[in-house]
Amino acid sequence: MITVPGIEPALMRRLAHWARTLVAAGAFVTLPGAVRAADVPGSFADNPIVYFVITDRFVDGNPANDHAYGRRREPDARDDIATFHGGDLAGLTRKVRQGWFSQLGVNAIWITAPYEQIHGWVVGGNKQFKHYAYHGYYALDYTRLDRSMGTEDELREFVGAAHGRGIRVLFDVVMNHPGYADIADLAEYVGPVTDRKVGVLWKGYERATPADYHSWIDYNDPAWLNWWGPDWVRAGLRGYTEGGSDDYTRQLAYLPDFKTESPRFVGLPPLLRHKPDTAAKALPHATVRDYLVGWLTQWVRDYGIDGFRCDTVKNVEPASWTALKAAGLKALAAWKAAHAGAEVDDAPFWMTGEYWGHGIQRDALFDAGFDNMINFDFQARASAARRPADLEPLFSEYAKALAAPANYNVLSYISSHDTALFDRKRLIEGAEALLLAPGGVQIFYGDETARAPGPFFASDPQQATRSDMNWGAIDTAVLAHWRKLGSFRARHVALARGRHAKLADAPYTFSRRTADDRVIVALGAQGRVSLPVAGLFADGSKVHDAYGGTTATVLGGSVTIAVDPAGVVLLESAR
């Protein structure tokens, strides 16, 4: 909770609750020191430790939902790379309660979009495999939970379990495009039915394979107007506007492009008008942007979702992100006002964004609603660091940009579903680079357990990064290392926001300090080492090595420590 000097904590809680109620009603009230999450020292925005999980690939907590909408797996492992594998919200809840995330120091879980995806499959790779929407990027209905993910009660249970352990829940959201037109949904929602056709499909479409999929679809049939409709999307179809050539209007990977920039008022898309279980309702004087913002932030208002990871930021005009953030702030404030005691804290709605190629710089995106941006600079540079001392230029540069009082932040990562997995033989070093880096960090599921890459076709190598979590083959040494570093980071905002100083080359030793926190880290140490601590820990004070578990007394501006065999020293004030 944000505190203000001179105000008792109990009164501060009442003021915060009052402010949330006013914000929920549409009034923007600013408490002292509470302008934005990024301006609050020591807040989540300062030190986000985000665990990114492809829900479908993590834990199957409820096998009853494994074949929702008629989805099926494939018997051959390579053919099965892009089907739904069974992971769900119930599985996430189980791991939250077991302490999996807490032991890593995680304070937010970013889950793949759980709202309803296209039911069937589209062609994957070079006509090689069936590609389902297990990753959450092919939306069908933003107002319904995908049955493969679970039930509304299971979502509430997951959020409640996470919040009860001080962990935020972040949704992956997409405003740039809905999903492809898949045969299953075209057959169900796009008519009419004639002697030869089911809407735009030739009868017999059930026999489609990846090799002949498109031959079963008539792309020139005027019935395409019964799909999303030309008022909603650009698409290379009869009656639709073609995708443009600029970032905001082009079709990414031939996906239909939402007309989020259009000022035109629209009704519900035909697809949803013919979908009996949708919760979408036609709105008066509403644009495409208005609908999408409303649908996405309804999850916040109903379930207390704490923030969004926004996909394809580069391809949606900033005004739409600004609108999403404003609506998210109101929605989360409304939920907190109605669920006092069920929230993590008083922090406002938070957003990070995926703008391909973005680094650690502050730019106009942070004025368009983003508290944070995903950092594409880190992965390659961390991989190139072969010795502990090689991290110094990286750490020094990042700290200069991101140390307090910087009013923005980034999320660095070493593995990603869209790039590559970090070298599985170097995950000990990868953990040190990531979890000791200035700024915010994103752990990709399985980096802490040495999850192996899965099978793939050369036409789509990213599928290899999305293999099932390796619960039966955990590298326990890697896991123990990640847990020690992660829990240390969670205790020390200085690692994320502190002023950085190199103290020694061998072993590579550095300090980070803020006004309220200070740490010293040594990497590549051996045996017993004497580390300089003058100016950070006073003579006679006791310091604790959070890695090795020993305590020592500072004498003459230094401390002597027996180093754990892993070669890591994590010094903090002894409690």
Residues catalogued as catalytic: 311, 354
Q: What angle do CA 292, 298, 300 make, to 5 degrees?
A: 120
How far apart CA 401 and CA 362 sit, in angstroms, is 9
How buried is residue 173: exposed, middle or buried, by Cβ count under 10 Å (0-12/13-18/19+)?
Answer: buried
CA gap 401, 386 in Å, rounded = 24
Rounded to the nearest 10 degrees, the angle between the axes of helix 152-163 and helix 89-97 is 20
Cα–Cα dist 407/409, whole Å? 7
Contact 326/191 with Cβ under 8 angstroms? no
Q: How far apart are CA 36 and CA 7, in angstroms?
A: 20
Residues whose CB falls within 8 Å of the CB of residue 411, separated by 6 or more in sequence, listed in order? 48, 50, 352, 372, 373, 374, 375, 439, 440, 441, 442
Cβ-contact 309, 444 below 8 angstroms: no
C-alpha span between 498 and 117 (Å, rounded) = 42
CA 153 vs CA 100, 147, 332, 523: distances in Å:
22, 12, 19, 46
In the chain, DSSP finds a helix count (H) and a strand count (E) of: 12, 24
Name the nearest CA neighbour of 87 among 116, 118, 112: 112
The SS3 of residue 259 is coil
SS3 content of the chain, % helix, strand, coil (to 5): 30, 20, 50
Prior bond to 263 cis, omega within 30? no
Q: How many CA atoms lie within 13 A of 168 on its CB side?
A: 27
Question: How far apart are alpha carbons 415 and 48 in whole angstroms?
Answer: 17
Using a CB cutoff of 8 Å and minimum separation of 24, what contacts does 490-495 make?
490/47, 490/49, 490/105, 490/106, 490/107, 491/105, 491/546, 491/572, 492/517, 492/519, 492/572, 493/41, 493/42, 493/46, 493/47, 493/517, 494/518, 494/519, 495/47, 495/435, 495/436, 495/437, 495/438, 495/519
Q: How far apart are CA 33 and CA 511, in angstroms?
A: 27
Q: What residue spans of 76-125 are helical by DSSP H?
A: 89-97
CA atoms within 13 A on the CB side of 281: 5
